[in-house]
Chain A
Amino acid sequence: MRSINRRSWRSEDRNDPSLSEVLYVLWERRPLIVGAVALLVLAAVAFGFMREPVYTAEAIVNVRPQQSLESDEEKTAFLEQVRGVVATDADFNREVMRRAGWETGAADFTERLDPEPYVAGDEAGLRVRFSGSEPGVAARAANAYAEHFVERVEQLNDERIAGGSLAAEASMVQRATPPERSNPRPLLYAVLAAGAGVLIGGAAALLLEGRARGWRDVRDVELTLRAPVLGVIPDYSSDGKEA
């Protein structure tokens, strides 16, 4: 019965709950934790299935300056400049939407479009991402933007010869293909919800334990009080009341 070493139990640090005490509480209150996990996982899976799936497709356009640029900062600034000249007017977006067959509005189209400059060693360009509710739409829109971007750079280069200011070459290095996986992913949400359930359920278990009036057994007493249990007296009274 006295599992705590009498020589050492008084000298134990009594300020913080021990790991064994926490694990014991979590194990004894496992129905609460399992319940919290199950509830959150169900909610997450339901959320994942009810929400409209989002497919993201990516096309890559390579952009090369005609003059030599040394640093990544210079290359990034150059890419922003090219994008500013080529792709910021309303006509550009209207043409991309027309090619993509997009009919639900310019604002929604712009929100789903994400052209991002990249620099990787000697290579630099744009990663054109588009998020749509269908894989084909996402790929078509990303490719429409990339293709029209390349065409506009070539067109402006031709105009430069005739007096324009752009000095760059662009080419499509990767066409977007319809993505197979969508976001949100119910499985990922379920895993995250399970983790949250363990944390919330565990915290609730420890909170309830601190307010409990019931003792389960000798181990519960020894872990909670960190003192040896010398005796266990069962309740033989009919009404459970004693002096």
Chain B
Amino acid sequence: MDLLLDPGSPMRGHYEDLASNLLSVGNVRSIVVTNPEPGAGCTSVCLGLGAALAGMGYRAAVVDCNLDSPQVHRMLGEPNFVGLTSGLVGDKTLEHYGHEIVPGLLVVPTGPVLSDPAAKLDTEAFLATVRGLEESRDVVILDAPVAGRVLRSPNLSGGFDGILLVVHASRTSKRIARETTDDLIDAGVNLLGVVLNGCR
């Protein structure tokens, strides 16, 4: 975890490059980060990118939208008692259901998921709650489920400013990654680009 969050980490420069490239794309304040198949390291990229943005002086937030298989709280070694789902039913902003793990980086875990996680992602409340973070954060990063799930969710595929696709250098199938990219572009989503993770 220190590798992702520590300003002196050898990975920081790579995440700062990614952050700079993303910011240079244009008016991008909410980014859905997804992968063609599980195991590409989406959560690591979200946290590393968020920490890099925070280190560059931006106020960033990472929201765990992977309700099927929450990862952010596990990586941080923290409980998952409150988070995104709490914000969907409560009347407070997500700022109240997350915490800053480094100065400038808010992390919001999924919170408890009791039933039908897919339906929660397709509500107006979800879109409004997450986009509400843009009032207090310069960039909101959504740690999303796999791309197939994103494509089936109108909110995730079209409700935010763009999609960032993460492929892992040794664990992501080329064929599946190609098909996923084609599907994303055919669906008309704003695919910002790709991150190659786990390069040796």
Contact = CB atoms under 8 A, between A and B. Distances in A.
Interface of A: 1-2, 6, 10, 14, 209-215, 217-218, 221-222, 224-237, 240, 242-243
Contacts of A2: 21, 193
B173 interface: yes
Interface in B148-180: 164-165, 167-175, 177-178
B41 interface: yes
Contact of B193 (A14, A210, A229, A242): A229
B198 A226 contact: no
B127 interface: no
B109 to A, nearest CB: 13
A232 B16 CA distance: 11
Contact of B167 (A217, A221, A234, A237): A221
Interface residues of B, number: 48
Interface stretch (B42-50, B55-63, B115-123): B42-50
Given A229-B196, A231-B18, A231-B196, A215 B182 contact: no
A231 B181 CA distance: 16
A163 B39 CA distance: 99
A228 B22 CA distance: 11
B125 interface: no
A241 to B, nearest CB: 9
Interface in B1-47: 3, 9-11, 14-15, 17-18, 21-22, 25, 39, 41-45
Given A230-B22, A230-B193, A232-B14, 11 more contacts: A14-B185, A212-B173, A213-B173, A215-B196, A221-B196, A224-B174, A229-B193, A230-B195, A231-B14, A231-B17, A234-B198
B31 to A, nearest CB: 10
B194 interface: yes
Contact of B194 (A210, A213, A221): A221
Given A10-B185, A215-B169, A232-B195, A242 B41 contact: yes
Contacts of A243: 41-44, 71, 74-75
Contacts of A226: 181
B191 A227 contact: yes
A242 B172 CA distance: 13
